[in-house]
Amino acid sequence: MTKNSLKTGPDELGYYGEGESAMGGMAVGETLMPALHELNNGFEDAIKDKDFLDEFAYYCKHYIGRPSPLYYAENLTKKLGGAKILFKQEHLNHTGSHKITNSLFQILLAKRMGKSHLICESGAGQHYSATAAVAAKFSMPLIGVMGDIDVARVNQNIIKAKHYGAKLKTVPGTLKEAITDAIKTWTTNPEYAYICGSVVSSSPFPKIVAFAQSIIGREIREQSMSQEGKIPDMIVGCVGGGSNFAGAIYEFLDEPNVKKIGVEAHETAALTNGTPGIMQGMKTYMLQTDDGAKSLGGMSLGAGITYFSVGPLHSYLKDQGAVQYSSATDKEMLEAYKIIAQTEGICSALEPMAAAAEIIFRQAKDKPEDYIICLSLCGRGEKDLDTIQEHIGKDFE
């Protein structure tokens, strides 16, 4: 890694970039600071340990089922009549999303650091059910924190997590409130390991989660080279906190010829409509009142991307002009869901349909047929079926 690489950050205090415009950092209470430094040291030590990395690779293969396929969406490509579209099939991982790779990594790390109890937060419940599965496998008790609005709309993930033996703490609200409460729960139990679900919160979480998820981009490179003879021209992923997209693009950050587009929910598009602020442990773009007293943002149908803020790596990449960020509406997400279900026989989660909408409605059509667009299809749709049926009906009439 060179000094001019976008992969050099963050620095030891968790900052991406330099000076006052740097993003990230550590904005938490004193009680957690020792735990965060301990975690950072534990992480830096673990990633130098070949046995640890081998163990992670073993379970990635045999427990999660990695690598996830890179699939040529031929019917969709033909329907749109432009670029060649590939799906990175993260929804085929065990527990149905990219989240489990991070849960596995952090739980192995927690185990290595001698931790016995786990805390996590969740929006769509994908991180909760994934963490609960790995927690069960390694016999570690887990408390998950979720907003009541999300608990009601992604019930399948809650049921699964409970079957795995995890406990659930419900707070009024959505992912935002879950993240704030998870920090409170950790402050009350600083000896526990907090398994943060996205590239958000105080340092070192953005770094750790990006490290775990960067396997997605490495697989994309290898698979695309062997299947297509070249790497993708464009990678598109949805962004709530931004972990699947960070994982998909990290490998290609120093390759400007690979165009990268992150797509947020229209109602919570922090990178398009937000300003820099400091909340929930990090400096990053967010939707907030001018005086910084209140977080803002409406509701999206995608529970996992209903988040007023975003991981600091993405804010840094936006400021650097290295990645483009846009947003998609509920209507576009539902339309994209319908098209992908009917052309490819894939029942996707609603969140990655924000990214699919960007491809379908704005990117694919005017591109030549040898232009490769890779969609990070990061979650399966079972959790959203009630919501989808409620909005567009089962017959799509």
Partner 1 sequence: MSERLKKIFDSSNPKTKLVSYFVGCYPDYKTCLELIKQAIDNGVSIIECGYPTSEASAEGPVIKTAHDKVLENGDTIKDIIKLVREIRDYSNEVGIVMMGYISNLYKYPITEFVKDVDNAGIDACLVVDAPHELKEENILRKELNKKGLSLIKLVAPTTDDNRLQDIIKISSGFLYQVNVAGVTGVKSANETDVESFVKRIQGLTKIPICSGFGIKSPEDALKIAKTGCQGVIVGSAFVKYIQENITDKDLPSNLGKYIKSFTKELN
Per-residue exposure over 35-49, b if at least 16 CB sit within 10 Å of its own CB, e if not: bbeebbebbeebeee
CB of 10 to partner 1, least distance (A): 12
Residue 200 CB, nearest distance to partner 1 (Å)? 12
Site for partner 1, residues 17 to 46, rule: CB under 8 A:
20, 22, 25-35
Q: From residue 180 to residue 219, what is the string marking binding to partner 1 with x (rule CB under 8 A)?
A: x--xx--xxxx-----------------------------
Nearer to partner 1, 167 or 294 (CB): 294
Find where tokens 């031929």 sit: 74
Q: Which x/- pattern over 293-312 shows residues binding partner 1 (rule: CB under 8 A)? A: xxx-----------------
Among 7, 8, 13, 159, binds partner 1 (CB under 8 A): 13
Residue 279 in the binding site for partner 1 (CB under 8 A): yes
The rounded distance, in Å, linking the Cα atoms of 355 and 301 is 14
Q: 32 or 83, CB closer to partner 1?
A: 32
In terms of Cα–Cα distance, which of 246, 264, 279, 261 is closest to 99? 246
Least Cβ distance, residue 28 to partner 1 (angstroms): 5
d(CA 174, CA 147): 4
Please state the closest distance from residue 48 (CB atom) to partner 1, in A: 23
Strands of the chain, DSSP E: 15-16, 23-27, 70-72, 84-88, 118-122, 142-147, 167-171, 193-195, 234-238, 259-265, 275-279, 281-286, 324-328, 372-376
Radius of gyration (Cα) for the chain, nearest Å? 19
CB of 110 to partner 1, least distance (A): 17
Do β-strands 70-72 and 84-88 pair in parallel, antiparallel, or remain unpaired? Answer: antiparallel
**Binding stretches for partner 1 (CB under 8 A):** 13-15, 20, 22, 25-35, 176, 180, 183-184, 187-190, 277-281, 283, 288, 290-295
